[in-house]
Amino acid sequence: TQLLEQSPQFLSIQEGENLTVYCNSSSVFSSLQWYRQEPGEGPVLLVTVVTGGEVKKLKRLTFQFGDARKDSSLHITAAQTGDTGLYLCAGRLRSNDYKLSFGAGTTVTVRA
Amino acid sequence: EPEVTQTPSHQVTQMGQEVILRCVPISNHLYFYWYRQILGQKVEFLVSFYNNEISEKSEIFDDQFSVERPDGSNFTLKIRSTKLEDSAMYFCASSPNGTPKLFFGSGTQLSVL
């Protein structure tokens, strides 16, 4: 059973378009994170959200944590080819957990 | 910018052999982790390590696995008798405290033949 479900699995868009990827669960998380992973590299942390309803912006990226702390979304405005990559969400069920549970990821391809 | 370094980048071994994967976490970090990613699957937690002992481990981390911090800088993952299903990318990560902010290394691709 997947603790964190990410959708869509694959997303291909034209440069300049907007996109949203989703991370959903039936469990409540203490915190959720979004990572980006390039082929042959480790995940790189983009953002951590901890408060229900929280919205964080990182340049053209907007991250939202659901009010119930069960889901999150990543929105990219005016996508660029450099945004191409695997986007992973990961969560901690309890604040004193050491373990991060990862979703399977969304592979984003931005075409020139 | 400080980074987590892992060696080797690729390791090929025969089934039943022992392997040691090495990691140098970021120097002032206190929490250390191993994760793995089987090709085409999600990143999976293996173990966390703090204050020279395992703080949490997953069901994957059975008696064939062990971790060690042999000196002040290295953090190792040993697989005693490798199986075909141990083939995966193994990521080391560290964090400065118990916060969710993890820094991952580039991984060691382990292939068991």
- Convert the pLDDT of each residue in B68-110 to its tens digit: 998 878 999 999 999 999 999 999 999 988 677 899 999 999 9
CA of B6 vs chain A CAs: smallest distance (Å): 11
Give the whole-angstrom CA distance, residue B76 versus residue B55: 15
Per-residue pLDDT at A59? 95
- Convert the pLDDT of each residue in A83-102 to its tens digit: 999 999 999 998 878 889 99
Residue B6 has pLDDT above 60, yes or no: yes
- Assess A68–B contact: CB distance below 8 Å, yes or no: no
- Assess B42–A contact: CB distance below 8 Å, yes or no: yes
Per-residue pLDDT at B70? 86
Alpha carbon distances (Å) from A74 to A40, A56, A108, B39, B113:
23, 10, 12, 24, 39
- Convert the pLDDT of each residue in B54-66 to its tens digit: 999 999 999 999 9
Q: What would the two tokens of residue B94 be?
A: 């560290």
Amino acid symbol at A88: L
Residue A7 has pLDDT above 90, yes or no: yes
Per-residue pLDDT at A1? 52
Among the listed ranges A29-33, A104-108, B7-11, B96-100, which one has the minimum average pLDDT value? B96-100
Comparing CB atoms, the residue among B41, B44, B55 nearest residue A98 is: B55
By C-alpha distance, which of A106, A107, A108 is closest to A22? Answer: A106
Round to the nearest angstrom and report the end-to-end CA distance of chain B: 36
By C-alpha distance, which of A45, A39, A62 is closest to A102? Answer: A45
- Convert the pLDDT of each residue in A16-67 to its tens digit: 999 999 999 999 999 999 999 998 889 999 999 999 999 999 999 999 999 9
- Convert the pLDDT of each residue in B43-52 to its tens digit: 999 999 999 9
Comparing CB atoms, the residue among B43, B50, B55 nearest residue A88 is: B43
- Assess A44–B contact: CB distance below 8 Å, yes or no: yes
Q: What would the two tokens of residue A75 be?
A: 């929105």
Per-residue pLDDT at B98? 66
Per-residue pLDDT at B64? 96
